[in-house]
Amino acid sequence: MRLATNGFPVPPGVCLSSASHAAEPATRADLVEALSQVASPWAIRSSSLTEDTRHRAFPGIYNTVLGVESLEGVINALCQVGSVPDAEVLRVYSPGDPTPTRVPALIQTIYDPRAAGVLFTNNPISLSDSLLINASWGLGKPVVDGTVTPDQFEVDRTGRVLSAVIAMKDTVVDSFGKAVELPPDVSRKPCLGPQELASLAQIAIKVEQLMGGPQDIEWMQDQTGLLWLVQTRPITTL
């Protein structure tokens, strides 16, 4: 919401204070009204109230359901993302925090992805002020969860490419969360060019300035070439 209200390209969505509550029959009319304001297909995403701080982040512990297109699908997805993760797993990532009694969720338009990935506005490997960009074809889920080796680019703060390592990206995840194999001639191609990297870097530096510190940004590019920001959180590994 903070990015959207400051003019950054964020896919439209609705925030729910409790995924489980939103799925209940008593709140069905409110849910239908909310969905009427956000184009499908949807991603239903959940997170903890205590994650994504300057000290810790634990993406992937809470659930996400992709490619939802119907009210019934949304209700089923909310029931999935509204469930609290295993208590022992939570204790590892957030020691001392109480087990949550509710899980907030986001219903967000999911665009047909050309490429997506993760960007660090400070390089957590070299600890320099260069930007580190990981990118793959399709949605960024396999980049985040480590099931695909992405392209890796290092760019300076003007957007100039300092280094590029192009990976064999043999699978792509579409907007419905389906993994599809890619032919070798496509998988070996870099999924971002110099101009796209420069544009992404320019947006990311502005996000860093708004948020007041180095950021770990999830981004995607749709089939028309437009860049979108999906999430930003402080970098915890610096």
Final residue before a domain boundary, out of 109, 141, 176? 109
Final residue before a domain boundary, out of 109, 130, 160? 109
Question: Are residue 83 and residue 120 in the same domain, yes or no?
Answer: no
Distance CA 116, CA 234 (A): 19
pLDDT digits (tens, 9 = 90+) for 45-76: 987 777 666 666 666 678 889 999 999 999 99
Question: Are residue 76 and residue 172 in the same domain, yes or no?
Answer: no
Residue 58: per-residue pLDDT: 62
Question: Are residue 101 and residue 169 in the same domain, yes or no?
Answer: no
Domain extent for 200: 113-234
- Report which residue type is found at 31: L
Question: Are residue 196 and residue 221 in the same domain, yes or no?
Answer: yes
Which pTM was predicted?
Answer: 0.87
Question: Are residue 124 and residue 100 in the same domain, yes or no?
Answer: no
- Give yes or no for residue 117 having a pLDDT over 70: yes
Final residue before a domain boundary, out of 78, 109, 140? 109
Of the listed ranges 31-40, 77-86, 142-151, 162-171, the least confidently predicted one is 142-151
Contact (Cβ atoms closer than 8 angstroms) between residue 114 and residue 62: no
pLDDT digits (tens, 9 = 90+) for 180-202: 888 888 889 999 999 999 999 99
